[in-house]
Each structure stands twice: as C-alpha cells, then as structure tokens.
Structure 1
C-alpha cells in the first residue's frame, strides 16, 4: 500500500494522475495550491506507510493521522462524487488510504503486548537481574514472547 500511495503521489507530481489542477471546489483559494497540498499529503502518507512497513511499532503514530484523514476525506469525497465535481476514478484512488488504514490497524493490533497497552519491543533484551519475580527456573525456560519492563520515569526508584 505504501508503494501504491507513493505511486499515486508521484503521478500527481509528473501530471499523469488524470486529476486536474484546475477544478473542484471554488473556495477563493488557488486550486493549484490545493492540488499541491493534495500531492504533498499523498506523498507524506505513502512515506509514513513505508516507514511503518519497516518499523511496525511506528503504527501507533501513524494510526491516528491516517484515521482522521480518512474520516474527513470520506464525506468530502462522497459529496464531490454526488455533485459531479470529482470523477469516480479520482474518488476510487482514495481506496488506497482505506486499505492502508485497515493494514495499519492489523499491524498495530499484532504489535500489542499481552496487556494490550504498550507496543512490543522487538529485539530488546530482558532485564532479568532487576526483575524481583525472576527465579532461576523461569530464567532457563524458553520465552515465546518478550515482556517490556517499564521503568520509573525519574531517577528515584518507585517505593
């Protein structure tokens, strides 16, 4: 989805997306500027999706942004489609965002720890020496899932 979104943004940059820079809403704002903002958003979302593909724990940052963008874009796109100010092909290009959002949700939910609150830390070493509940028997057993050890925020240990 990241590559598809980046391709859409690059198609807008070179002018092959079929979208016109002159058309759409008449808001008193230069439509070329609005087209450039759309292009920037498509490229930025594509880069963000690519980053989350490489770093799945980054979904916690991308998820609110893409969710809000889709929540605002869907009603505007439906209105534009019904009024005839956007072509079905242009509106359908936003399906990439909806699919991308679905994939973000899947990756994000798969990266949650057992408590469902903190993302799993892949590659982090467990700090068994500081864990009071660690016993030699527990340390020798293979672990199927690493536990993220939360540490106090300040220099002083919690009582």
Structure 2
C-alpha cells in the first residue's frame, strides 16, 4: 500500500473524519513503516500545537470578590415582635367583641348601640385581621399578600371614621379600637419592605465589581477557538487533486 494513501487515512483520523480505508489496514502499515510512523507523530504534534495554547495569567481576585459580597442581615426581630404584639391586641379585641364584651365596637345610633348580626360580622372581620397579622409575624413573607387588602381597608376606614366624627356618629372607644389595625398595617408594610430586599438574588444586591476589576483581568485571545473549528473541517493534508 502506498504511503500517500495511508497518510491520507491518518490525516482523516486526526481530523475526526471517516478514513478512506479500513483502520486495521492502516495500523498494520504504520507498524511496519518508520516513515509513516514519524509522519503520524509529527502530524499529531502539529495538531496539538495548533489547538492547545497556554492559559493566560489571571490575577487572584477571590479576596476582593468575597469582600464585595454583602453581609447577611439579621432577621428584624423587633419588627416581628411589634407586629406580634399588635396582632395579639387585635385578636383579643375581636374575641372580646365576638363573645359579647363591651368594647365600644358597636355603632352609636340615636343613643343605642347596634347589636346582632352586624356586630358579629364586624367581630369576625376583626378576628380575621388579627389572625392574619399573627401569621405575618410568624411567616414574614406572607406580609406582601395581606398588605393590599388591609391597606384599602384602612384607607376606607379612615375616610368613613372622619365622616362619622363630623356627624357625631362614633364614640371615642370605637375610634381607639381602630388603633391596632392602623399600627398593624404600618408594621406589615415595614416587614414587607425588609423581606422584599432580602428576597432579591444576591447578585442584584451586591457590587459585581466589573468596572473595578476590568483593568486587572487580561483579555483572552480566543482566536485559537476559531482555529479549532476550522481545523476540524479541513481536508486531509495529503489529499490533493490530480493535475
């Protein structure tokens, strides 16, 4: 077998392309031909020199990167505790109203307090608010779900309370009973703001340092990556057209 044919097959093997003749036949020829063995060795060395390059020197920025990572902030125990106290006060007030205690939660109308179903409905709603605030104090991430509804409730309640004050249709005890709800919504908002910041991915909460470190990281020449692609699609070096 001619050495040119064997070297064409070896070139195809190096390039990862199908060999024009059986590999076993090529291997037998290479074992017995010192010239083809030397050619194959030099071709492999050339291939490695073409696609492999020394890694560029990269500075160790570990310490600076770790220093840029924001410290984990502590759980806002004070806010949660305050919200828990307000929640207990709201729940206690609702339970007292539900079981008929005189809490000033009835409506003053013509010198008499409205009782019955409306009082029970108001008590149930106040109890639901209290339980919701308790749950938000225990599971702070649930504050976001309660905030829109309770904010609207407090806004409407403030408006109608001012109207009732001008008409003389509300007692001082009734107005004071709204204080836990007002405080609860304010604390709920603060807890929501605190955990909204904590729930962001850490990459959004830290300085990536891209601008500060850019001058320390050398540009990597990726031209050899293109040469890899081109090298894979080259025709075997020994293949040529007949004149």
TM-score > 0.5 by shorter chain: yes
Say what the alpha-carbon RMSD is for the aligned residues: 2.5
The DSSP-based 3-state class of the residue aligned with 2:197 is coil
Query: Structure 1 residue 21: deviation in Å?
Result: 4.8
Instruction: Tell whether the 8 Å contact from 2:93 to 2:103 is kept in structure 1 after alignment.
Output: no
Residue in structure 1 matched with residue 183 of structure 2 by the alignment: 99
2:94 alignment counterpart: 9
Normalised by the length of structure 1, the TM-score is: 0.63
Unmatched 5+ stretches in structure 2:
1-85, 203-243
- Structure that is richer in helix per residue: 2
| Equivalent-residue separation in structure 1 for 2:107 and 2:146 (angstroms) | 31
Alignment gaps of 5+ in structure 1: 127-159
Structure 1 residues 107 and 23, CA, compared in 2 at 3 Å: closer, same or farther?
Answer: same
The CA deviation at 1:87 is 0.4
Q: Is the 8 A contact 2:105 2:177 kept in 1?
A: no
Aligned residues: 114
Q: Give the deviation of 1:36 after TM superposition.
A: 1.5
C-alpha contact (below 8 Å) 2:106/2:115 kept by paired residues: yes
The residue that corresponds to 1:112 in the other structure is: 196
Which of 1 and 2 has greater Rg? 2
Structure 2 length-normalised TM? 0.43
